Structure 1
Amino acid sequence: MTTENIDRVSVDFTGPYKLSIGGRLVETNQTFDVFNPATNEVLAQAPEGSAEQMEEAIAAAKAAFPAWAAMDADERGALIETYADALEAHKDELITLLTLEQGKPRHSMATGEVEAAIFWVREVAKRRLPVEVIEDTDDHVVEIHHTPLGVVGAITPWNFPVLLGLWKVAPCLVTGNTMVMKPSPYTPLTTLRFGEIAQQIFPAGVLNIVSGGNELGAQMTEHPAIAKISFTGSTATGKKVMASGSSNLKRITLELGGNDAAIVLADADWEPIVETLFWAAFGNSGQWCIASKRVYVHSSIHADFVKAFVEYAKSVKVGDGMDPETGLGPIQNKMQYEKLQSLFDDVKANGYKVPLGGTIDTSLAGNFVPVTIVDNPPEDSRIVKEEPFGPILPIIAFDDVEEVIAKANDSEFGLAGSVWGRDRDAAIAVAKRLETGTVWVNEIHIHGIDIPFGGHKQSGMGVENGAEGLAEFTNTKTYMFHK
């Protein structure tokens, strides 16, 4: 398929929704409800794939692998770029569908997610892992090559289903692997649609999408024909993935939870960063792994910072993501909504100071949770120790740099963090001591195609993006030649 006839790709975004298996759109005997979190009304029926259909998808990916792996990398890259063009042609429909099933505001985060995902696909298509020559003498050559693994199983989350799904698709395919993807049952629709578009671009079996329950994920992680699992989700589930994948020593990439600390030093020019840190914490209603989930502010500026933070927060509307005035949408699903209710109850029961929010109105039809700020809770409180994954944030005073570094590192998580201060060298010195996979200094949430992203400790294993992320989809193969 060429770029010139992209506009001929025709997809009905009103349904019905079907699985993508072996280049075909496949119906299922059973379906399940997908809800609009802004109303809790049924948005659509999604196909519930069976164990037999998952077997068919894995078999299709396995059958497609030899020819796809043998294809010239530039040919694969050209097809992936064509896929990006096809996604671009349906960008508006994907954005709307994402808002309806996930809840994030259409005019801001949903648009940003889909546009970033398309950009990622297009740019990753151009990336290659070069052959590295270790030795080349008169009589001997040693070369390091990267060869594809085979069939990759991808399990994607409900918070960023398009971006985090396509983050996996593009590097997997460009390195010569084939894929079976299972989206979260909370947000399967946009994934099914980008899978449907893919069937008109790629050879049959290269990309397969099977939606359904958690048992399908377990089937993938245990399956002997799957060489690698790429999983994004909770740390608890990531541990189960790692355990079940050990049956055939699967390669595993895990992008898991976080409890990221932002540290605002005494000399920070703090007023201009209030808005920045608000969105770093509350973007996507706090439903992202790299949200700033603890903000430590030096005691000399803590009270003023909290006051300004509360004032800015009051200006942000929580509502239906289809409303152009909405800044923050609903919590995506009832499971997470109920977890947040438990956390809110704990804050209230312990009498922590709450200068904004604090009470969830359960009479509302949608899963709406107010922006909530907890002022200076104790370090051993649930709101400090746990990952809330919602719009509630502790802002904690500190006096000593050594103290705040120790507190920031006192976590089972180690995904990312940030440090803010006028003295750049001093801020960098703090950043270098944080036990996380990524640290930003006087900026936050900067990502890039060529920037590796991954967690330390129980925030994950392996990386995505960059040459390192590409290499995660390959085996290292050493060739030695006697001249």
Structure 2
Amino acid sequence: MTIPAELAEARERLLSSVPTALLIDGRWREGTTGARFSVSEPATGATLAEVSDASPEDGAAAVDAAVAAGQGWAATPPRERGEVLRRAFELVRERSEDLALLMTLEMGKPLAEARGEVSYGGEFLRWFSEEAVRIGGRYGQTPEGNGTMVVSQRPVGPCFFITPWNFPLAMATRKIAPALAAGCTVVIKPAALTPLTTLAFAQILLDAGLPAGVVNVVPTSSSSALSAPIIADPRLRKLSFTGSTAVGRTLLAQAAGTVLRTSMELGGNAPFLVFADADLDAAVEGAVQAKFRNIGQACTAANRFIVHEDVAEEFAEAVTARVAALTVGDGTDPETTIGPLIDDGAVHTCQRLVDDAVARGARLRTGGHALEIGAGSFFAPTVLDRVPADSAIVHEEIFGPVLAIATFRDEEDAVARANDTPYGLASYVYTRDLARTQRLIERIDTGMMGVNAGVISNAAAPFGGVKQSGLGREGGAEGIHEFLATKYTLVPRG
């Protein structure tokens, strides 16, 4: 593909303006070792930038800055904290095209989807700018009448955030915005694969008037070496992580040493149930949204399509036609609907899961193989049906553009299959039966559910899972409470 001259100019201007240093105590600075690491473009394999590589000493300096800024930021009136977030929201909107292009370059998602993420990520800034002034408490007489109970909320303290590569703006705003609204300070370690968007957003926070040291950014090529001493620092009060369950378990074990408060948004294995009475056209459209958004690289992505046996063939034919028509290519091409996967390892994972399912008896209806498009990491949009229950693809998170269909007999069978996983993040249900919908809300073990909807995330809603999909909630009225500590005071009656 030949990039249009206008886009090529925007790319060069953007990459020359994005910070590539560490942000510590309000200053962009090089790491103590002077080392840098490369950030590559998954569509081409080309190097986009060289970013400062934070060392454990840099991590300690970032915590120092967050601790030093903590008291002043906590004492800042909630209205002022909210106004900083509101200004950041406005700046995100003003710079939306630059942020979208930057995400497409470093992560690979199509430009239209990147624009959607800018809008979604910005909403956390707007939402929590409004929540900052709504932190409440409780005041009342003791039941015995011998005193007054005062229940107040205080900032939990300095926070450490570890964010993933798949939604580099939204994952930063979803954690940073409620923390700032609550009066907490932050050290954030963006994913090494996609640090540029977080660095650009940090500059937006500075431009919005955020005081020095309130947010500190430490990209690194060695996550464990940087993170472990930060987590062990007794001054840290909160850890929030989005990523795999395996890494989450390790971080929880480390956090236990100081009984650190944690939020964990971990892996998913979302069921997508299609009942015989469903509107199949709507179900197919929802399936494409729930599976292929972000190239399938989302923790909320539908992983297991469980379709009633009476409509399974009709659903498979219709969804295969839609998937076969998707256009694969560089995300900067406006015709592209499926961009590259994040790296070659992700391509190999998709191939392994598809090959295993086919070997066990699944039928490959379209795709099923890597694509050679330049030096990029591409995998063909894929549909499998008749997928056996013992296939690896049923039990592992795919994180790629592969739609796998199995069947169920009745509602009991559907619920059993949906819940047959250690994960419980998101689920999707297509049915016209209201009574069934009410039963499924109660019976399916996930923290979030879409009913006749393929996209469920919203800044005003609590995001999170149950079982091994994590702890805590992000977004919504619940999100700010993850960063508040409850204090009870008794005032005896005089």
> What's the TM-score once normalised by structure 1's chain length?
0.94
1:270 alignment counterpart: 280
- Among 147, 159, 162, which residue is 2:169 paired with? 162
SS of the equivalent of 1:470 reads helix
Q: Is the 8 A contact 1:431 1:440 kept in 2?
A: no
* Matches of 1:474 and 1:249, distance apart in 2: 16
Tell me how far apart the structure 1 counterparts of residues 458 and 289 of structure 2 sit (CA, whole Å). 19
Distance 2:319 2:389 in 1: 21
| Alignment correspondent of 2:203 | 196
Q: 1:287 aligns with which of 275, 297, 313?
A: 297
User: Does 2:103 match 1:93?
Assistant: no
Deviation at 1:12, TM superposition (A): 7.3
Shifted more, 274-283 versus 317-326: the winner is 274-283
| Corresponding position of 1:470 | 480
| Deviation (angstroms), 1:89 | 2.6
How far apart in 1 are the matches of 2:127 and 2:410? 44
1:23-102 equivalences under 5 Å are 23-28=26-31, 29-102=34-107
1:29-51: CA deviation from partner (whole Å, max 9, x where unpaired): 11111110001111111111111
2:284, 2:314 → 1: CA distance? Answer: 11
**Aligned-pair CA distance for 1:52:** 1.2
Q: Is residue 210 of structure 2 the alignment partner of residue 205 of structure 1?
A: no
Identify which of 336, 352, 362 aligns with 2:346.
336
Give matches, 1:119-198, under 5 Å: 119-127=123-131, 128-135=134-141, 140-198=147-205
In structure 2, distance between residues paired with 1:316 and 1:121: 33
The C-alpha deviation readout for 1:177-236, integer Å capped at 9, x for no partner, is 000000000000010111122233211100000100212223332222211111000000
Q: Is the 8 A contact 1:124 1:449 kept in 2?
A: no
Cα offsets for 1:130-173 (capped at 9, x unmatched): 11235378763212211111110000000001001110010001
1:404-423 pair list within 5 angstroms: 404-423=414-433
Instruction: Provide structure 1 residue ranges, at least 5 long, that are not aligned to the other structure.
Output: 1-9
Q: Quick one: structure 1 residues 278 and 356, their matched pair in 2 at CA, closer, same or farther if it must change by over 3 Å?
A: same
Residues 153 and 486 of structure 2 are in contact (CA less than 8 Å); yes or no, is this contact kept in structure 1? yes
Report the Cα distance in structure 1 between the residues aligned to 2:306 and 2:359, rounded to whole angstroms.
23
> Cα RMSD between the aligned structures?
1.8
1:432 counterpart SS class: helix
In the alignment of these two chains, the number of paired residues is 473
- State whether structure 2 residue 460 is matched by structure 1 residue 455: no
Q: Deviations over 1:68-125 (max 9, x none)?
A: 111111111111212222222322211111110000011x210010121112202211
Indicate if the aligned counterparts of 2:306 and 2:405 stay in contact, CA closer than 8 A.
yes
In 1, Cα distance between equivalents of 2:270 and 2:173:
24
Q: Distance in 2 between matches of 1:265 and 1:251?
A: 41
1:384-403 Cα deviation digits (max 9, x unpaired): 11111111121111112111
Deviation at 1:351, TM superposition (A): 4.4
Q: 1:380 to 1:87 in 2, by over 3 A?
A: same
Identify the residue that residue 6 of structure 2 maps to in structure 1: none
Residue pair 2:271, 2:428 contacting (<8 A) in 1 also: yes
**Matched-pair contact (CA < 8 Å) for 1:310–1:373:** yes
Farther-moved stretch of structure 1 (259-268 vs 196-205)? 196-205
The answer to which of 310-319 and 191-200 deviates more is: 191-200
* 1:1-16 superposed matches below 5 A: 13-15=16-18
* Structure 2 counterpart of 1:6: none
In structure 1, give the amino acid aligned to 2:138.
E
Note the residue ranges of structure 2 that are not aligned, 5 or more in a row.
1-12
Q: How far apart are the structure 2 equivalents of 1:216 and 1:445?
A: 35
Q: Measure how far apart 1:361 and its partner are.
A: 3.1
Mean CA deviation greater in 458-467 or 62-71 = 458-467
Single out whichever of 214-223 and 134-143 deviates more from structure 2: 134-143
